[in-house]
Every structure is written in structure tokens, then in C-alpha cells.
A and B are shown apart, each in its own frame.
Chain A
Amino acid sequence: MDEITETTGRGCVMRGDDIDTDRIIPARFMKVITFDDMGLHCFEDDRKSAKGNHPLDDEKYTGAEILVVGKNFGCGSSREHAPQSLMRFGFQGFIGESFAEIFAGNCTSLGLVCVTLPSEDIEKLRESIELDPEQEIRIDVAESTVQSRAGTMQGDIPPGTKEQLIHGRWNSTSVLLEAGGAIEETAAQIPYVNGY
């Protein structure tokens, strides 16, 4: 499993708070048994209603790998289809004021980085990227920092998540299986698991 110590790429600014996973990937596109086509429908309804005036359709952000968002990004449904859709569209990292918990956990499971920054820094970063969308944005996972032409900003990544990313333990199945027989031992102590 890859160790993820940094994410670099051009930024894309998406303004607005409380952007929910129904908007990232509308439910009607989840009537499939694989994630293969999720990238095709990323923000589909928002983009249609914006008639081209959406950051994902803005030429200056074409090829961006880092999405800069506001507060509570990814709220709502637990659908992993949402980060799958963003990843398949091309994003590897997310910088925001805050993220919904299940969304952030799903990102980690896919090796995608979510880092939070204070509100003022998010605004400075937005302005910097809007002014110079060609610049490289770098998220340093171990330091939880964001580097751009606006300077180096101190952000936050929860310690457990950081540990998973930098040590390549973000695909948690193998980590959990390392517990071996301790799983059965714990289960044996719990009455309802054993039919009382």
C-alpha cells in the first residue's frame, strides 16, 4: 500500500458551505454495482443548472487535483460514491474549513487527503488560486500544512488519519486482519454476538 506523505497539483476553488453528497453524485447514478462510471456524473445536476458557470467546467481549473471547499463539505449520505466520483474526476486532495465525518473517513479509505484550514486562510488560498490557477498547491501530510503562493498555512489532519496515510495503512482491511484471533476472542465475550 502506498505511503501518502504529500499531495500536489493545481487547485480548483468551489465556494459554498454544506455541499452535500447528493449534489456531488445524485442518487440516480448509483444504480450500478461498480464505481467505474462515478467520475462521469460528478456534480452533474449542479453543473447543468450552472450552465457552464461551475468550477468543474471552468477551463482555468482543467486538470486540477486539489479541491478547495468551505464548511461541512460532503455532508449527508454516507455514499462512498461521492469521493469515488471526485477521485475519478481527478481530485486527490481536499482543503476545506471542515468536512463531514463519514465523507472524510471515506476519503481516507481511498487514500485521498482532507486537510482543514482556518476560515481566513481558506479565503486567502481561494483568492490566490483564483488569481493564479496555474500555481502548484502542496499538502504536506506529516506537517498538516498547505503550501501555495499565499504562503505556508498550518492546517489540521486528525492524528489517526495522518498515521494511516503516511504509513500506508489507509486501506484498513489488512490492518484490521492483523488482529487475528483477538477478533474472535472479543466476539466471544459479547453475549448478543453468541445468541445469549
Chain B
Amino acid sequence: MSQQGQNLFSKVWDAHKVRELPGGQTQLLVGTHLIHEVTSPQAFAMLRELGLPVRFPNRTFATVDHIIPTEDQNRPLSDPLAESMLSELERNCAESGVRFFGPEGGQQGVIHVIGPELGLTLPGSTIACGDSHTSTHGAFGAIAFGIGTSQVRDILASQCLALARLKVRRIEVTGQLPPGVYAKDVILAIIRKLGVNGGVGYAYEYGGEAIEAMDMEARMTLCNMSIEGGARCGYVNPDEKTVEYLRGRPFAPQGEAFERAAADWRAVASDPDAQYDDVVTLDAAQIEPSVTWGIHPGHNIGVLESVPTPGEANDDERAGIEEAIAYMDLTPGQPIQGTPVDVAFIGSCTNGRISDLREAARIAETGHVKEGVRALVVPGSQEVAREAEAEGLHLVFEKAGFQWRQAGCSMCLAMNPDKLIGRELCASSSNRNFKGRQGSPSGRTLLMSPAMVAAAALAGQVVDVRTIKNEGKH
């Protein structure tokens, strides 16, 4: 049982420790392993070469998300490379007894969307996946992090990882978020404050009134982008919202077992007198709808602010700002509001859930996509798509001129046919504005909340979502 003064990270880490390794690393049991088609095939091949079986096939779960087309998912996929990756995953899962959530089964989607939705993501668990946005699952009070393919092999073979223990930084967001300000804006503000590598060596614990007030999907958005701040994992302590979200989910415990589990979940939360290696505080009232202007997520400003001027930056940052402004073809000092957009993308493991689509639809309903703007809405999973369609959101989007697509990662990283072309500039609800990220080597990305993306699609330029009023209901 937990001692006083422990944070969640310590409790979970200690419960999953198999042994100490020489040099101070821990052999940590990974309770839940998630895999997808891009980073797992080489791991299965290495395992075969070593003649090793999958040790706990019932603790690995698979789906296809990165390469899946969002217009036509019928087999064989039209892109032979994508089809071969999907076939390879199916073969690996079938041969090793790993459960695969494929497009035909109705439970497919972005791995970080389906994990929570199926009840695979549980408080107090350790979760790893060959994908840096695995931090998403921390929303439930899981210790969840991205790994490379050699580590995917390690887990398949041993259900364990060799890891150095992380320090824990508590990030306290006090007060209430103003209207029109979302979890996306909070995490962008945190990254702006602490830097894109400020979290290296840390797990981030998010807490405070503004975080406690967030629903589970908002917490997922928040934790999702921990890695963009350099923190390999981020988490929120489980509470009654966490418990109620999980009740009745297909892979969550059921009946009496659920109540027993819920008691464990409440107990795994950080103790009131828990110790941290660092504490940082932000005031929610000061956070504005945020927009990136550069080539990493730390390059972000409030929508009413202007693109920075390299001359006013410190020596350390100047070259990076110059490089970013040149790539983005923006002018130092120009207001970010009014920047014309060519493409609008709503979706991804960051912001492709039902609450994201509801917020975007509420804006979409007020107008029509600007002529010349290509606007896509890609639900994060087949379940999200069904929910949205049951609520008629797809009709709202289509009426407003958005394309309603099928579930996948899509234009977040453009490994499927959804890509930017040439120098197109995209207002995007995804997580990375790196050079070339959205499929065109010279394409440009402005990250923002889904509501801000919808507003930009209608206006054909970056606008402040707070100026758009919709008295209707969604």
C-alpha cells in the first residue's frame, strides 16, 4: 500500500519494477503494449531472427492507423506499400496471438484514441507503444511513453523495458480557463513557457483547478503533447471523472471487479503531501487561444500576438527564429491573425475525439468554408465516427464545405494519401509543425485548437475563435 508523500509516478514505477539493473536502470514491466503498422514489423522480424516467442501475447494490442487511407479503406488498399504494411501487421498478430483491431472490425482508429475508448488504458498501469504520442494515455493516471522499435522487440520478448527512472515535475494550472480556450491552448502555453526540451528527464504531472475541471478528452489532448515539451510522459491523477469514463468500456473490468479496480485507481493518485523534483505554476486566466508561427510547437503565441522579431530575441534563440520565419515565409512583427490558410485539418491523436468534433462543428455551423480552402475532418476512430454521425455532425461539416473522412492519422504526418501540396499552409489540430511534417517537403503548418481550425477554414485566414458566436446547440 502507498506510503505518505508519494506521487503517482513513484507508486506506479515501484509496482512494476522487476529488478534493478547495473548502472541504475530499472527493469520495468510494461502492463499494456500497443503497436501499429509503422514501428512494429522490424521488431517482429528481429524476434523471429532470435527465435523468440511473444511472451505475453494477451498484453499487446494492435491497430492500423498511420498508413490507412481515409477515403477508401477497402482491401487491398490502393497503395501497395500501405497494403504490404497492413498485411504484415495482420500476419504478425495472427502468428503471435496478438489482438488486432482492423478496419473491418469496427474498433479501428488512431492507437491513442482507441486505447482509452476500449478501456485498455487504465489508471496505475504502465503503457508503451512505438509512438511518441503514447503520453496521451497519461490522462488516466497511467505511466505511458513512446519507445523505439528495438524496445518494441524487448517488450514482445520480455514484456519489459530497461529504463532510467524519471524525475517528476508538477505543473499546476490554477484558476479557470476563459471561454474559447482549450486544453490544446494550455499545453501550447506550457511548452512555450518551459521550452521544447524543458521536459527532458522528467515526467510531467498536470494538476490544479483548470486541469481538474477538464473532461477526460481534454486531459488526453494535454498529455498527448507532453513529448512536444521534451517530457516522455505526462499524466493527470485519476479522479471520479476517470472512473466514470471507464465504467462499461469493453476491456475495462466489469461488475464487482470494476469497483475493486476503481478503489485501486483512486489510491494510486499522488498523495496530498507528495514530493516533486520541480513545481511550475501557470494561471489559466492568462492563457489565450494559441497558434504556432514556426517550425516546432514551442514557436507559439496567443492569437492576438505578433510573429517575433529575431532582433529582439536572445542570442540563443535568434538563429532558430530566423530559420523558422524564413521557412514559414512570415514577416517578423506581423500579427498572426489574418494569416491566409490553404488547408484546414481537424483530427489526429491530439484532437480527433468526439468533443473536439463537437466544438469544431459548433463553429462550422456558423458559415461556409472559404472558397479555395481544402478542409478535412478525420475522426480519430471508427467509434468517434459513429458517434459523430449519430449526432449529425458529419452533415454539419459537409453542409459547411468540409470533407468528412474515415478514421486514421491522416494529415498529421501524411503517411496516407492526405498531404499538403507545395507551399500550402495548413491550420491544423495536430501536434507537430515540423518542416515537411504534413507530407510536402515545403508545406507549412499552424497548430491550433479544433475550434480555431474550423474558424480559420471559414474565414480563409487565422481568426480569433472567441469572436464567433453560435447560440445554437450541439
Contact = CB atoms under 8 A, between A and B. Distances in A.
Interface in B223-274: 227-228, 230, 232, 253, 257-258, 260-261, 264
A33 B154 contact: no
A98 B298 CA distance: 17
Interface stretch (A60-68, A137-145, A174-182): A174-182
A190 B17 CA distance: 11
A75 B433 CA distance: 12
Contacts, number: 223
A20 B17 contact: no
B127 to A, nearest CB: 11
Given A35-B42, A160-B25, A101 B19 contact: no
B371 to A, nearest CB: 30
Contacts of B148: 78-80, 83, 102, 105-106, 109
A125 to B, nearest CB: 18
Residue among B17, B145, B150, B442 with the most chain A CB within 10 A?
A: B150
Nearest to B67: A31
A78 B81 contact: no
Contacts of A172: 150-151, 154, 161-162
Contacts of A35: 42, 149
Interface stretch (B106-114, B196-204, B461-469): B196-204
B296 interface: yes
A78 B435 contact: no
A182 B199 CA distance: 32
B247 to A, nearest CB: 14
Interface in B389-414: 413-414
B30 to A, nearest CB: 10
Nearest to B320: A17
A92 to B, nearest CB: 16
Nearest to A158: B164
Nearest to B260: A196
A177 B158 contact: yes
Contacts of A75: 196-197, 230, 296
Contact of B85 (A15, A20, A31, A48): A31
B1 interface: no
A34 B159 contact: no
A20 B296 contact: yes
A190 B18 CA distance: 12
A106 to B, nearest CB: 4
B50 A173 contact: yes
A38 B153 CA distance: 19
B23 A164 contact: yes
B320 A18 contact: yes
Interface string B33-65: 000001101100100001010011001000000
Given A72-B230, A158-B164, A193 B432 contact: no
B171 interface: no
B230 to A, nearest CB: 7
A14 B420 CA distance: 28
Nearest to B415: A27
A80 B296 contact: no
Given A76-B132, A167-B22, A173 B230 contact: no
A150 interface: no
B435 A176 contact: no
B102 interface: no
Contact of B162 (A16, A98, A175): A175
Contacts of B415: 27-28, 30-31
A78 B130 contact: yes
B36 to A, nearest CB: 11
Contact of B39 (A15, A46, A79, A192): A79
Given A72-B230, A190-B15, A33 B29 contact: no
Interface string B71-88: 000000001011011001
A164 B150 CA distance: 14
A163 B32 CA distance: 28
A190 B29 contact: yes
A109 B109 CA distance: 29
A80 B39 contact: yes
B434 A20 contact: yes
B137 to A, nearest CB: 13
A183 B149 CA distance: 21
B15 A34 contact: no
A102 B129 CA distance: 12
Contacts of B200: 72, 98, 100-101
B190 interface: no
Per CB-CB distance, the 8 closest pairs between chain A and chain B, nearest first, are: A163-B23, A109-B150, A80-B148, A106-B148, A78-B146, A160-B25, A45-B441, A33-B41
Given A71-B197, A81-B149, 18 more contacts: A18-B296, A20-B435, A34-B45, A77-B413, A79-B39, A80-B130, A80-B148, A98-B197, A101-B201, A161-B164, A163-B22, A175-B162, A179-B158, A179-B160, A191-B261, A191-B264, A192-B253, A196-B253
Interface of A: 15-18, 20, 22-23, 26-28, 30-35, 45-46, 48-49, 71-72, 75-81, 83, 98, 100-102, 105-106, 109-110, 158-164, 167, 169, 171-173, 175-177, 179, 182-183, 186-187, 189-193, 195-196
